[in-house]
Structure 1
Amino acid sequence: MTIYAHTAPLNHLAALDIHGADALSFLQGQTSAQLSLADGQFAPLTCFCTPKGRMLANGQLARVNEGHYRLILHASLVVPLMTHLKKFAPFYKVELSAADTALLGANRADAQTLAEHLGMTLPHQAWQQANAGEASILCYPEESAGNSDGWRWLLMLPTAKADALRCQGDAARWQRADVHRGLVWLEAEQQDSYLPQMLNWEALGGISFKKGCYTGQEVVARAHFRGQVKKRLQLGYLDAENAPANGAGVIATHEGADDGKNIGEVVASAPAENGQIAVLAVLNTRPLEKNPALTVDGAAFALAALPYAVERVDPEALAANLVEANAN
């Protein structure tokens, strides 16, 4: 039996199925994604918001087949989001359920072997999707910009099929790659805390500003067009042995000042290969202009460059680029 040494069960993630005759129209009014883009070949990032534009969940939306969509999100949010969406479901011919699906993270070699085993061509563009029966493979961007060896693939398999595989990879590597990539998966205790832009969601192509209304759309659009986002996701490295808890404060101290000021909080972290802790934090951007010394739980915290520019990326453009790349 094949041993998949670099494939790991991603138990911190799970999937929510939305299916029925009205699944497309139901989701179109609830999520930041343009549903027509989720066509089985492109699986856009998306988010769900309160009427005040605060995120209830973020994830990746894949089309399984006509009238059937699958949302990948943090496992802690499957039930809360499903409960929220079911309040609107009676007005549509739609059903929601936790998917009986295993999510696996793989490197290039294992993903290629699994794709061949499943009878599909491995996708090679960011957020591209390939399908074979009940299985799908999603391509994730390289861990850091320009690192061609750092591309990753997420496999969605029926649980029974996944259980038959000998996967010996480390899920912590996948989570570390998400942090390095500046990609946060919101957890249950973080609901209703952030505008999508505070997690740089528009810079990752997770917001369509060209679609019609959805819950929270007016606030999200106003924040974008009026430049009202004062807090942003930042990447940095912490000189500490243990990862900080989500919500841990980031303290800024300016030269000559005895007392520090809390300018934000940790939203995700993972051990880095250099012995430090890689951290993503949402910080007030104005204090950073003075280049203060930063600490988290008393340990030095040094900011680093994100692997993407913090500017709007339209998912429509990403989908068009994918079509063009496939044509060539």
Structure 2
Amino acid sequence: MPTESPIALTATAPLTHLAALDIKGDDVAGFLQGQTSAQVNLANGHFAPLTCFCTPKGRMLANGQLMRVADGHLRLVLAASLVEPLMAHLKKFAPFYRVTLEAAEDAVLLGANEQDAKTLADALGLELPQASWQQGSTANANVLCYPQGVDENDTYRWVFSLTHAEAARFDAQADASRWQLADIRRGLAWLDADQQDAYLPQMLNWEALGGISFKKGCYTGQEVVARAHFRGQVKKRLSLGYLDAGTPPDNGASITIKEDSGEDGKNIGEVVASASMENGQYAVLAVLNTRPLEQSPALCIEGADLTLAELPYTIERLDPEVLADNVS
């Protein structure tokens, strides 16, 4: 019999810059509750909260999204470069809870727009979630809903987590760089291995995205994170900008003040992520000192002009418990 051809998906991208870490065990929720900023019981198969893992000093080791795959089985989607380092860190505590951690080698992550997401969902028998950070599931597939884009006609986006067998049914033809650009323009920064232990969660606006529960109990770094929030001690914030340059900036590249401000060349921040745009510019996420920005200085990266833009969300605390309550 002839083999059925894969379904062509021209606007779906294999998200190879992301990967998944599986945590399994009877007390997986208790284990993670003491390690992560999420209220773990919110990961109930319908809502998949953003979360992060911190050092005792409150600096981020990783950030990602936590989903429930089955009873006693949670999956964290995060940067591929962070799966092994985070797993090594968490394994130090795993024996106390009798949980196992392993890279989800059979998980294929695909990013899809609305049209392709409907095609995928229909083929997989999935109900497509219609609100940010919601989850839909079957036995062999999960789908996560991401926030709407920033342009007028932008819809939600969806990340599908499939087994290799299920993923083989589809031919994803888009480039992941377009997905990464959409994340950047949406103000979503995902740490990689070179950025560990560099930022408080609030420096990436994580509490404004619903990535920190201030209503849960203790977790590693919680005291520092809470103090920074309640005492207003966050002196650096994630900002969005557009760079006129011939080459992309490196992550960590310095952002400096330009022109006759009296502080020419002063370093006020660094690049966290960037992606090319069709107009030849680069969209940039950068962590910047907040105090100098109140003076609206002209900024540059290695001499190229950086123009700041408004983020598509307000810098206000957004409790994940509120987001979860909105899931029907």
TM-score of Structure 1 vs Structure 2, range by shorter chain: over 0.9
Residue 36 of structure 1: how far off its partner (Å)? 1.1
Distance 1:150 1:264 in 2: 32
Q: Is 13-22 or 255-264 further displaced after alignment?
A: 255-264
Check 1:319–1:147 CA distance in 2 against 1; reply closer, same or farther (3 A cut). farther
Picking from 76, 79, 85, the partner of 2:81 is: 76
Answering whether residue 128 of structure 2 is matched by residue 122 of structure 1, we say yes
Answering whether residue 34 of structure 2 is matched by residue 29 of structure 1, we say yes
Picking from 152, 155, 174, the partner of 1:169 is: 174
Give the secondary structure class of the aligned counterpart of 1:11: coil
Answering whether residue 231 of structure 2 is matched by residue 226 of structure 1, we say yes
Distance 1:148 1:275 in 2: 22
Give the secondary structure class of the aligned counterpart of 2:311: coil
Residue 243 of structure 1: how far off its partner (Å)? 1.2
Give the secondary structure class of the aligned counterpart of 1:25: helix
1:326 aligns with none
2:113 aligns with 107
**Per-residue CA distance 1:242-265 (angstroms, 9 max, x = gap):** 210000000013535373100000
Residue 170 of structure 1: how far off its partner (Å)? 1.5
Give the secondary structure class of the aligned counterpart of 2:133: coil
**Per-residue CA distance 1:49-108 (angstroms, 9 max, x = gap):** 000000000000000011100000000000000000000011111000000200000011
Distance 1:152 1:241 in 2: 29
8 Å Cα contact 1:241-1:277 kept in structure 2: no
**Per-residue CA distance 1:176-214 (angstroms, 9 max, x = gap):** 000000001100010000000000000000000000000
Residue 150 of structure 1: how far off its partner (Å)? 3.3
Give the secondary structure class of the aligned counterpart of 2:305: strand
1:300 aligns with 305
Check 1:148–1:131 CA distance in 2 against 1; reply closer, same or farther (3 A cut). farther
Distance 1:216 1:163 in 2: 41
Which structure 2 residue ranges, 5 or more long, are not aligned? Answer: none
Residue 163 of structure 1: how far off its partner (Å)? 3.2
Residue 148 of structure 1: how far off its partner (Å)? 4.8
Code of the residue aligned with 2:99 in structure 1: it is V
Picking from 258, 261, 266, the partner of 1:261 is: 266
Check 1:148–1:259 CA distance in 2 against 1; reply closer, same or farther (3 A cut). closer
8 Å Cα contact 2:256-2:264 kept in structure 1: no
8 Å Cα contact 1:142-1:148 kept in structure 2: no
8 Å Cα contact 2:82-2:192 kept in structure 1: yes
Check 1:149–1:230 CA distance in 2 against 1; reply closer, same or farther (3 A cut). same
Distance 1:228 1:176 in 2: 30
Q: Is 256-265 or 115-124 further displaced after alignment?
A: 256-265
2:210 aligns with 205
Distance 2:291 2:237 in 1: 10
Code of the residue aligned with 1:157 in structure 2: it is L
8 Å Cα contact 1:32-1:217 kept in structure 2: yes
The residue correspondences of 1:276-295 to structure 2 (distance < 5 A) are 276-295=281-300
8 Å Cα contact 1:254-1:290 kept in structure 2: no
8 Å Cα contact 2:23-2:99 kept in structure 1: yes
Answering whether residue 193 of structure 2 is matched by residue 188 of structure 1, we say yes
The residue correspondences of 1:44-83 to structure 2 (distance < 5 A) are 44-83=49-88
TM-score (norm 1): 0.96
Code of the residue aligned with 1:64 in structure 2: it is V
Distance 1:258 1:18 in 2: 49
Distance 1:196 1:46 in 2: 9
Distance 2:177 2:200 in 1: 27
Picking from 6, 11, 27, the partner of 1:6 is: 11
Code of the residue aligned with 2:114 in structure 1: it is R
Give the secondary structure class of the aligned counterpart of 1:274: coil
Q: Is 154-163 or 279-288 further displaced after alignment?
A: 154-163
Answering whether residue 243 of structure 2 is matched by residue 238 of structure 1, we say yes
Q: Is 78-87 or 132-141 further displaced after alignment?
A: 132-141
Code of the residue aligned with 2:242 in structure 1: it is Y
